[in-house]
Amino acid sequence: MSEVPAAIQEELNTLRETINDHNYRYYTLDDPSIPDAEYDRLMRRLREIEAEFPQTITPDSPTQRVGAAPADGFETVSHRLPMLSLDNAFEEQDLLDFDRRVRERLKEAEDARIDYCCEPKLDGIAISLLYRDGYLVRGVTRGDGSAGEDITANVKTVKNIPLKLRGEGYPAELEVRGEIYLPKAAFDAINKDAAAKGEKTFVNPRNAAAGSLRQLDPRITAKRALEMCCYSVGYFEGELPGTQHDILTQLQQWGLKINSQMKLASGAQECLDYYHHIMNIRDQLPYEIDGVVFKVNRIDLQQELGFVSRAPRWAIAYKFPAHEEMTELLAVDFQVGRTGVMTPVARLNPVFVGGATVSNATLHNMDEIRRLGVHVGDTVIIRRAGDVIPQVVSVVLDRRPEGAVPVDFPKHCPFCGSDVLQLEGEAAARCSGENCSAQLKEAIKHFASRKAMDIDGLGDRLVELLVEKELIDSPASLYSLKAPDVAGLERMGDKSAQNLINAIEVSKQTTFARFIYALGIREVGEATAKVLAQHFPTLDLLKQATEEDLVETPDIGPISAGHIRSFFQQEHNLETIGALLNQGVSWPEVVVRSTETLPLSGQTAVVTGTLADYSRDEAKDLLTRLGAKVSGSVSAKTSFVVAGEKAGSKLTKAQDLDVKVLDEDAFKQLLEEHQAYLGGDA
């Protein structure tokens, strides 16, 4: 055995101490201070060292047991059979290695295909339920795997846990194991409610579930919409089926919930296909998962394989890339939007999370900064899931360095120096400046953007330069620019300058809906602008629309109606509109259509991939004109997906969810069938 270098021994001691601290916070206090991915890394490093220097393994090493001692307040109960934990796979090779080890131990041929029972791995709290003669008599947390806390009274409040098993044939004594979790929607509702009452919000659904289950007063637990999903049995007296799949199906027949995504896979390749399938639908599932679990399906083979330490040799959890990671908060900047709203933005030490490198994350507003209690210099947890923009989830207080600086909202706009106003009833603070260069830049960027006036070649950087050089001071002033004004600006030769002037000229011919959107009225996005153009088809009608007229329009609520009315009451906005019309901005008369009678009314479509004959926006516009609602993401509610070349995850998701898919030819055919409806343009 090789000698243990002093530096390694020291690293071991630190790792064990750190992991033990995190176990205590995670299992006992329900207050983890680091993301799971970081914890996994520490454990991996510890295992690596112990594998190289087995003589260093101590009985109390965190690798030798799961979690920490239960907290005070509930009675401690020993598990008759230990509650095992799972080994993790982080990449494809880990799963292939697992499958190879299983085949080798079972003395199966190299090309033999083992049957695995596959399930999503729920991110909840592991629980053991004991049924005696079909009656629920006890609910215990996993605790350290050997003993947990008796939380029977709380478990009984979980609505999908049967107090009495259905049917017959269940063992006289049956211990069922699974995960208690809080569905995403229930988590959002709890946090919304807590925020409204000024109470502390939960960091994630797992934390909320843990907090709810550890209530000493079961009436509080009962108010949280917890659910349980079962994944195995522990001790039992009597007969059970011979495979994992059939045991779970049997549990379901006795009234216990099992995962609806459970499937059988034959061999490692089908397991990998399952992993990718679940990863694709992960964001559509109503609960949080952090990976998938594969178990050798036959119970006799499970018994033959046995377990090492506290993890079975017949199961593995293949983890998804982390949605949460830690990094350092380098600074907080304040951005000013086109309507003056100030948004604090966290500047971060770049970190790879949720499949992308993140260096900025929104901090939303001052309420959020107060809620997080964040200081510059702090280590923060960043979350990036699905299409959602990266968020700062929490601060790792243990790691706050000396001299970390609290974040203050500025009293004056960092761009124009005007007072920052916090209006009553609004979370957002606003720059009150009437001539703020930051607001002006954002308003012009919006005006020129693709879905507004669509000025080709007028990107964000160019708008900033034009404002900074005082070549423009309003959207209308764009139309007075001449090629020599812009030639010589950053990366702007004579030819590009002329192209830009031509594009600005071309943009004068627009549609009424685009014009409305380009004005940048608060709460008026592209879809609302289209609705407004249909219901108030001339500028005069729109200017004169009262709030009552506006709220009678579909999709326009009282808040948007107030903003629209107030926009057209402000003299400077009317001057801007007048100036644009004087410059020659115009649009064809709006053709009013009845939306109820359009051929795709009531349908939701998604466009993905590259179409040969249409840009993505053209395709969306055509679908909207046929009455469809166009969405950016595929869900079970999507009516159909138009998929061009190189369609990626949205196409896979559509196939996984059995949503109808149209290729470009089928899309063209659809357009041809409804050609009569595609005459004019709003």
Where does this chain bind ligand 5U1 (CB under 6 A)? 84-86, 119, 121, 126, 231-232, 293, 312, 315
**Closest distance to ligand 5U1 from the beta carbon of 291 (Å):** 9
Q: Is the Cβ of residue 312 or residue 520 nearer to ligand 5U1 in the bound state? A: 312
Residue owning tokens 């999709």: 555
Residue of minimal CB distance from ligand 5U1? 231
Query: How many Å apart are CA 150 and CA 403, to the nearest integer?
Result: 44
Per-residue burial over 651-671, b = 16 or more CB atoms within 10 Å of its CB, e = otherwise: bbbbebbebebbebeebeebb
Q: Is the Cβ of residue 30 or residue 442 nearer to ligand 5U1 in the bound state? A: 30
**Closest distance to ligand 5U1 from the beta carbon of 147 (Å):** 16
**Closest distance to ligand 5U1 from the beta carbon of 258 (Å):** 9
* H helix intervals, 296-344: 299-305
Q: Is the Cβ of residue 85 or residue 207 nearer to ligand 5U1 in the bound state? A: 85
Q: Is the Cβ of residue 118 or residue 501 nearer to ligand 5U1 in the bound state? A: 118
**Closest distance to ligand 5U1 from the beta carbon of 180 (Å):** 12
Question: Does residue 121 carry a catalytic annotation?
Answer: yes
Backbone CA torsion sign across 664, 666, 667, 671: positive
**Closest distance to ligand 5U1 from the beta carbon of 261 (Å):** 10
Residue owning tokens 């990094």: 327
Catalytic residue among 107, 121, 319, 508: 121
Q: Is the Cβ of residue 87 or residue 621 nearer to ligand 5U1 in the bound state? A: 87
Q: Is the Cβ of residue 275 or residue 567 nearer to ligand 5U1 in the bound state? A: 275
Query: How many Å apart are CA 233 and CA 129, to the nearest integer?
Result: 9
Residue owning tokens 């290695």: 97
Whether residue 307 contacts residue 313, with contact meaning beta carbons closer than 8 Å, is answered with yes
Structure tokens at 431: 């720059």
**Closest distance to ligand 5U1 from the beta carbon of 177 (Å):** 6
Amino acid letter at 19? I
Q: Is the Cβ of residue 240 or residue 662 nearer to ligand 5U1 in the bound state? A: 240
Q: Nearest-CA neighbor of 517 among 610, 453, 595?
A: 453
Query: How many Cβ atoms from other residues are within 10 Å of residue 240's Cβ?
Result: 16
Query: How many Å apart are CA 54 and CA 651, to the nearest integer?
Result: 48
**Cα separation of the two ends of the chain:** 80
Structure tokens at 187: 């988590």
**Closest distance to ligand 5U1 from the beta carbon of 298 (Å):** 15
Query: How many Å apart are CA 645 and CA 656, to the nearest integer?
Result: 18
Write 656-664 long-range contacts (CB < 8 A, 24+): 656/277, 656/280, 656/281, 657/281, 657/284, 659/634, 664/611, 664/612, 664/613
- 3-class DSSP state for residue 235? strand
Q: Nearest-CA neighbor of 521 among 574, 465, 583?
A: 574
Catalytic residue ranges: 121
